[in-house]
A = this chain, B = another copy of it.
Amino acid sequence: MTLLPDPASARAARLACREGAPRPTAGMAPGFTQCNMISLPKDWAWDFLLYAQRNPKPCPVLDVTDPGSHRSALAPDADLRTDIPLYRIWRDGVLAEETPDATAAWAEHPDLVTFLIGCSFTFETPLQQAGIEMRHIAEGCNVPMFLTDRDCRPAGRLHGKMVVSMRPIPAGRVAEAAMISGRTPAVHGAPVHIGAPEALGIADLMRPDFGDPVQIRPGEVPVFWACGVTPQAALMASKPPFAITHAPGYMFITDVPDTHWQV
């Protein structure tokens, strides 16, 4: 293995996201930080940044753009309007459209402030290096995500429930998975819940609210991490007039190595 991931692989992955058919980014450009995205009109930016500050496990903010900018310090040559494989356009809290190119939507509001939020994919690299299989990567699908019954702490006009991602982990490796992911608190950190899905209000692990179901084998425990799709749950609950987000699992690939976030 090489000691540092090749920056060209992050750029190549972004180019594939920009130009290719939309596909989930799990496993793409391994070793590079992927991000959730939410763009809101400037009038809503304070409420959102405060919402993130009050809910740091689901909403760890890694970068905030200037109003109207589509550039991020996390990947200086990227264009936030085109380099995510699949975008969602939200109007009054309703998902209005999914599109691989958000340029037209971006042009509707000249003052959009964009938030890039850490993604659990960052700790999948050290989990895999520890020999812990990521089932959704093995099955070539999107990670399963669930809307829980846990309220986030509200901020201004924003409120909503927490979304979690789920990975089945062999019972003998769960503690290690908690410790490894706990070393990256800037990207969701340690699990918020281990086992007992019903205590999160999750009725059926085979029917995720976002992403795809994955097999859970005998001897495995469902492990739940706070998820960067939580802002989309806040959109649905709080109904701001306009927003652009990534589609769950279709992330923004940055130039920042995952290891940057380890404490």
Contact = CB atoms under 8 A, between A and B. Distances in A.
A263 interface: yes
A183 B263 contact: yes
Nearest to A186: B185
Given A46-B45, A50-B49, A53-B49, A190 B263 contact: yes
A234 to B, nearest CB: 17
A84 interface: no
A189 interface: yes
A57 to B, nearest CB: 11
A145 B54 CA distance: 29
A182 B54 CA distance: 22
A263 B64 CA distance: 25
Contacts of A119: none
A53 B64 contact: yes
A61 interface: yes
Contacts of A64: 50, 53-54
Interface of A: 45-46, 49-50, 53-54, 61, 64, 182-183, 185-186, 189-190, 263
Given A45-B46, A46-B49, 8 more contacts: A49-B49, A49-B53, A53-B61, A53-B64, A185-B185, A185-B186, A185-B263, A189-B263
